[in-house]
Every structure is written in structure tokens, then in C-alpha cells.
Chain A
């Protein structure tokens, strides 16, 4: 990506000043090499976002940004409804509220290693994954509508995890504003047998070991120490979320024309927040968020079952659940004034700093936990939110390693057997529903997660807490 006109603002934070028809500056976070290696398309897309009606503050790119759909993946933008602000499908993504949930297993590596293969089999059997997989829960339309209204609370009421987990989930497990009437019948029908399924692509369930602690007070608050075993779940709102995205994509593209919104690229299909289409889309997105929260809660319940069966007396504990494809109504201070904004985070994680009133008491002194999934062969990270992120990135940080290579290129380079063999050589057990999925998700096809995390840390939008080493990976 061209970087010669970027103005340094702070270490690892640079801006393109507002010019021409930009309504706000564009801000990049991450080290020089990450920015130089970024696709030119990222720059083009985030500049387009900065031209949208009602955008405030700045249009931000996270260190793991890559080419997306209208918005770059790793793009954050906040809109004020009072200033004609808009909602965009590309700013949320099709996998609404895709995110990461992390459990402490209550076990150490020494206890888990001898049974690793058997545990991987248990998880692979218990948590449905891959193309065409179905869960054990079958719901009618009314049941689905309850999920969309209640989110993770629905799953807890059905026996998937204790109620005490809910305060460790964003929005306490249920986002306000969900209206199931704004979700199509097709979307609801598609979800009937998909609750508690992992999906495919980059979704996974991983057994990991805490390898290194970088921030002792935060690690203490999160209850982790070196050698502890955790389980990371990465998945989203499944078919329902995808259908909401595809339903509204063309609807908003057609609405933009009607509302006379001119935007530089058709991909930025958007509608004013205060328009019938915008209001309907937001109510549907909230349904998608609740669906994802419920889905991860069900999978969490299944993870508990596996652990409690194999290790009687183990006491799994939810550390936190974060989402990274969302649009949420939040208060932020812009130019000294607190405003209610619609914050789009496409491939970006909300990261509240210490003292945030929305945070669960246990984490209030250190900030919100953030989970950065690596690829299936590499390390993952636990970060924490910072106060600085509030002024720099609308309390947002990165979400993952980010792809560096296309899926087709990965298929040309490797075979499934090669990837599996390499992972086993590094001590990682792999269970996968699709050989092709394994190749497309090969570790070498992703950016180096370390440089992404270093970038976020250097930019001050989150801080390193602990590094996690995978020992078993279940892949959709």
C-alpha cells in the first residue's frame, strides 16, 4: 500500500489528512512494515468509507486490515444518525457477530497432554462442523424467534452453561433492539437445525496452553497462569446471519439509490440510519448478534460437557466472549462532545479500557479481555482494552492474523497431508471436516499474528496479556 502521504500521529498511528470529498481523516494503526504490506485496496476502501454521509471522528484501519466488501476487513467507522449517518452491510459483514469465546478448562497441560487425541475426538464428535452439518437442537420458527430476542440467555435457559456466564459475554448475552419481524422467513428456516454448529472456513475450536504472560495484573484478573489449558471457540451467526446479510445487501443498494446517497463504490451499499430500510436492517443485525451469542453459548455448553465427562471435577470457566463483525449503538466522545453513534466494526473487536462502566466488576481495573485468533498452526493472543483506544479507535482493536494469500494460491502450494504433517510435527493434533478447508486455512496463508499484535500494542489500542500455544485444533 502507498504510505508516502501518511502523517505520523503517535507511535504506530498514522493518518491521511482530510482532503477533497473526504468527510473525516483516515487513520491507520500498526507498524510501518504492516502498513507497507497492506493491499492497495485497503487504502482505497477506507478512503471511500471516509466519504460516507454522517461519519464522525475518523475512519480507522486495524493492524490486520485486508481487502473486504466495501469496508476493509479490519475497518472501524462511527456514524451519527442526526447528521445523516448510514448503515452499511459491508461494515458488518455476512457473518454477523462472528467472534471468539475463551474458556479456562481448570486443567493444566500436564493433565491434558496424555489424553489430547481422545479430547480432540470428543470435541470433533460433539461440536458439529463443516459444510451441511446440523446440530442436535431442532427449532420451529417460534423457537428461532425466541433465540433472536434472547441471545445467549436463551441458551442458558436451555441448560447450556450457568447464568453466571452471561456477564462475561458482550451485551450480557443479549443485545437490545432485536426485532425478529425484520428477519426473513428464509433466514429463520435456515437456522432451524444450525444452533450449536461451528461452520467452516476460518472457524475452529482450539485447545491451547498459556505459554507466556506479558501483563501479570491482567492475567491475575483473567485467572490465567503459564501452563493452564484454555479452549477457544471461533464462530458466528451461521446461516441466519448470512441470510440477513444477503437479504439486506441488495435492499440497501436499492435504497441508497432512492435516498439519493451518492457513494464512490456500489459495494458500500448503505441506507440512512433514520430511514425505514436502515431501521429494519439495524433491528435485523441485532437479531444476528443474538443468534451468534446463543450459538457460541450452546457450543460452550457442549465444551463443558466434554470436559466434565473426561475430567470429572474439572471446573470450566468462561473468561469472555467477544464479537468482531458488528454495528452497535454506543456513546463516544468526539471533539469533546459525548454522542450516541452507530459504530461499525468489520473484522475488529470492541476493546473497553480500565474503568469502563459496562465491564464486569472482576475486569474493571484491567480492562476488557480481547482474543486474537492466530491460524491453526500458530499462536493466539489475549490482549486487554486500553483507555487510549477510546480516543484513537472508538475502543476497537484487531481481530486476527488476517489473510495474506488467496485460497486458490494456498491450494496451489500445499496438500492437506502436508499441512497436517507439519502441524503434528509442531505438536498440534488436527481434526477437520474438509481436506480442502485444511489447505485453504494453512498457517502460511495468513499474516504473522505476532506483527499484528505488536502493531495493536504499539499503537496503544490494546495491550498484550498472554500468548497461547495450540495443542489441538478442530476445523470446520
Chain B
């Protein structure tokens, strides 16, 4: 699984890649949290179950990322590790992380939400890509 960020004029893009769609979705989530905090210092101490639905795979990626942002914010947590199972019309996933601790964690910028900009979920050369731009 690979996760990375990419350039956008005002904001920042997040991209996940992997052999499976699940890996690509997990990678995109990791890239998004890397914008908010330095993930090197975050431990997967607590698990949170997250499910979401959408009418297609691309909108599902947006719902997944936004559901993670909402859960992290509600619990005062940052997530570093993800897995999920795709099902008809949605996904059931788990996010792992810990409570944000300003003493130990190096903050980046708050992500307001995942957008439909540069949104793409596709398989190219045997590798799944899942990407979008997040508003910061």
C-alpha cells in the first residue's frame, strides 16, 4: 500500500495505491491524516468501526474520507492505520489511532473536507488508485 499527497493550487491532493481497492482506500486515508499530523509519532492504540454508503466507488471514497474526518474530530483522535471490506453499495472499515496529544504529536493543518476535485478511483497497470483533493 502506498500513500502520498499531490499538488493543488490552493489545497492538497491525497492519493492511495495498492494491489486491491481496499489498499488504495486505506492509502488515501493515510495520506489525508498525514496532512493533519506527523504520522510517525501516532500509535494505533484504539480502533473505531466506520461504515458508509454511496451510489458509486468515487463518491464512496469521498464519503469514507469525510466519515473518518468526522469520527476523528468527534473523538479528538488522529488515525494512522486503516482497513476495510467493500460490499454492495458501501464499505465496513476500521480506523486505528490515538487521542491527539499536542505535547507529543506534531500538528499540520486541519482538513475541512474531502472534495470531488481530481476525484478518481481506477485500476491502471494492475494497480488500484484512489485520489481526491482535500480542502484545508
Q: How large is the interface on A (under 10, 10 to 19, 20 to 34, 35 or more residues)?
A: 35 or more
Q: Closest Cβ of chain A: how far from B126's Cβ, in Å?
A: 26
Partner of B12, one of A408, A434, A435, A437: A408
Give residues of chain B (90-114) contacting chain A, Cβ–Cβ below 8 Å: 100, 102, 106-110, 112-114
Partner of A131, one of B7, B59, B110: B110
Counting CB contacts under 8 A, is B135 at the interface? yes
Give residues of chain A (182-228) contacting chain B, Cβ–Cβ below 8 Å: 186, 189-190, 199-201
Give the docked Cα–Cα distance between A408 and B74 (Å): 28
By the criterion of a CB under 8 Å from any partner CB, how many residues of chain B are at the interface?
39
Counting CB contacts under 8 A, is B20 at the interface? no
Counting CB contacts under 8 A, is B131 at the interface? no
Q: Closest Cβ of chain B: how far from A259's Cβ, in Å?
A: 14
Give residues of chain A (8-61) contacting chain B, Cβ–Cβ below 8 Å: 39, 41
Give the docked Cα–Cα distance between A245 and B134 (Å): 12
Contacts of B9 in A (CB 8 A): 39, 41, 66-67, 403, 406
Counting CB contacts under 8 A, is B15 at the interface? no
Given contacts A69-B115, A132-B76, contact A407 B12 (CB under 8 A): yes
Counting CB contacts under 8 A, is A145 at the interface? no
Partner of B100, one of A69, A132, A476: A132
Counting CB contacts under 8 A, is A331 at the interface? no
Are B70 and A243 neighbours in the complex by a CB distance under 8 Å?
yes
Q: Closest Cβ of chain A: how far from B25's Cβ, in Å?
A: 15
Counting CB contacts under 8 A, is B121 at the interface? no
Give the docked Cα–Cα distance between A434 and B102 (Å): 10
Counting CB contacts under 8 A, is B36 at the interface? yes
Which of these binds chain B: A101-109, A247-255, A357-365, A460-468?
A247-255
Give the docked Cα–Cα distance between A372 and B6 (Å): 29
Residue of A nearest to B38 (CB): A436
Interface 1/0s, chain A 152-171, versus B by CB < 8 A?
00000000000000000000
Contacts of B76 in A (CB 8 A): 132
Contacts of B59 in A (CB 8 A): 250, 253-254
Contacts of A406 in B (CB 8 A): 7-10, 12
Q: Closest Cβ of chain A: how far from B32's Cβ, in Å?
A: 12
Are B109 and A434 neighbours in the complex by a CB distance under 8 Å?
yes
Which of these binds chain A: B40-48, B61-69, B79-87?
B61-69
Are B107 and A433 neighbours in the complex by a CB distance under 8 Å?
yes
Give the docked Cα–Cα distance between A69 and B118 (Å): 9
Counting CB contacts under 8 A, is B1 at the interface? no
Q: Closest Cβ of chain B: how far from A467's Cβ, in Å?
A: 24
Contacts of A269 in B (CB 8 A): 116
Are A249 and B62 neighbours in the complex by a CB distance under 8 Å?
yes
Are A246 and B69 neighbours in the complex by a CB distance under 8 Å?
yes
Q: Closest Cβ of chain A: how far from B34's Cβ, in Å?
A: 11
Given contacts A131-B37, A131-B107, A189-B74, contact A68 B10 (CB under 8 A): yes
Contacts of A94 in B (CB 8 A): 112-113, 115, 135
Contacts of A93 in B (CB 8 A): 135
Residue of B nearest to A268 (CB): B116
Contacts of B116 in A (CB 8 A): 69-70, 90, 249, 253, 266-267, 269
Contacts of A111 in B (CB 8 A): none
Are A407 and B11 neighbours in the complex by a CB distance under 8 Å?
yes
User: Taking each of A70, A239, A257, which has the highest tally of chain B beta carbons within 10 Å of its own beta carbon?
Assistant: A239
Q: Closest Cβ of chain B: how far from A353's Cβ, in Å?
A: 29
Partner of B115, one of A131, A186, A239, A267: A267
User: Taking each of B11, B54, B73, which has the highest tally of chain A beta carbons within 10 Å of its own beta carbon?
Assistant: B73
Given contacts A39-B9, A41-B9, contact A69 B108 (CB under 8 A): no
Contacts of B69 in A (CB 8 A): 242, 246
Counting CB contacts under 8 A, is A321 at the interface? no
Contacts of A407 in B (CB 8 A): 11-12, 109, 136
Interface 1/0s, chain A 434-457, versus B by CB < 8 A?
111100100000000000000000
Q: Closest Cβ of chain A: how far from B97's Cβ, in Å?
A: 12
Are B66 and A69 neighbours in the complex by a CB distance under 8 Å?
no
Given contacts A131-B100, A186-B70, A434-B108, contact A408 B5 (CB under 8 A): yes
Give residues of chain A (46-103) contacting chain B, Cβ–Cβ below 8 Å: 66-70, 73, 90, 93-95
Given contacts A67-B8, A437-B109, contact A201 B136 (CB under 8 A): yes
Q: Closest Cβ of chain A: how far from B5's Cβ, in Å?
A: 6
Give the docked Cα–Cα distance between A70 and B74 (Å): 28
What are some 27 contacts across the A-B interface (CB < 8 A)? A66-B10, A69-B116, A70-B116, A90-B115, A130-B107, A131-B36, A186-B74, A190-B70, A199-B110, A200-B110, A246-B113, A249-B62, A249-B113, A250-B62, A253-B59, A254-B54, A254-B55, A257-B55, A266-B119, A267-B115, A267-B119, A403-B9, A406-B8, A408-B5, A436-B106, A436-B107, A476-B110
Chain A residues in contact with chain B, CB under 8 A? 39, 41, 66-70, 73, 90, 93-95, 130-132, 186, 189-190, 199-201, 239, 242-243, 245-247, 249-250, 253-254, 257, 266-267, 269, 402-403, 406-409, 433-437, 440, 476
The 5 closest A-B pairs by CB, nearest first: A246-B66, A246-B113, A67-B9, A131-B107, A406-B7
Inter-chain pairs besides A407-B109, A476-B110, 4 sampled, C-beta below 8 Å: A93-B135, A130-B110, A243-B113, A246-B69
